Amino acid sequence: MPSNQKPSYLNFEIDVYPWKPDIDYRAHPEKYRVGKGEQGVLICEPYKSEIGQFWRFKTPEIATESSRKISEMFTKYVEADDFVGADMARKYLQMGYTRARRYANYKGGKKYDKEHDYKALERGTGSEEKAKSAEIFYQAYKNAEANSTYANMKREWRKLIG
């Protein structure tokens, strides 16, 4: 992102965002959309509460335990033919990677200086420990993505629902 461009979250439009916090996505899976990347991960209940409580990446040891637990949940959701749960677990694994990577790249995980018109901060000031956590989550995320049953479920979901 060029240093003169502000972060996209400043222009966030909640009204057009397809994920809503007042929907029970287990009771109404037809309302769930896959989206791009991690979209909806911090909104979709009851999965947010089920999975989010285990999502941690402070140290490689914590990231190992967290990614293991979320991977187990991913597998259980796949086995239960619960695509929404599986996709949400996959998103938490992906988010473990991306957030830990941000802390590896930027001290304190801050990319922008909001006190100075959201100027991009210097990269390479982060933590090596977080880089290790990111790698742990990356492997778990890639394993989830490579699960053939999940991949088939995702392909069908996109075709039928979006």
9 in a domain, yes or no?
A: no
11 in a domain, yes or no?
A: no
Domain containing 149 equals 18-160
CB < 8 Å & 24+ apart, contacts of 72-80: 74/144, 74/147, 74/150, 75/147, 78/147, 78/149, 78/150, 78/153
Residues of the chain with pLDDT under 70: 1-12, 109-111, 113, 116, 121, 123-126
pLDDT of residue 106: 78
pLDDT of residue 70: 98
Residue 57 tokens, joined: 């990446």
pLDDT of residue 113: 65
5 in a domain, yes or no?
A: no
53 in a domain, yes or no?
A: yes
User: For residue 92, which of 136, 148, 52, 49 has the smallest C-alpha distance?
Assistant: 52
12 in a domain, yes or no?
A: no
Kindly report, residue by residue over 107-122, the tens digit of the pLDDT.
Answer: 776 667 677 677 776 7
13 in a domain, yes or no?
A: no
User: For residue 88, which of 128, 54, 38 has the smallest C-alpha distance?
Assistant: 38
109 in a domain, yes or no?
A: yes
Most distant CA pair in the chain, distance: 49
pLDDT of residue 10: 65
* Measured CA distances, 119 to 6, 99, 123, 124, 126 (Å): 7, 20, 12, 16, 17
Residue type, 60: P
- The total domain count for the chain is 1
1 in a domain, yes or no?
A: no
Asked if residue 7 lies in contact with residue 111, where contact means CB atoms within 8 angstroms, the answer is yes
pTM metric for this prediction = 0.85
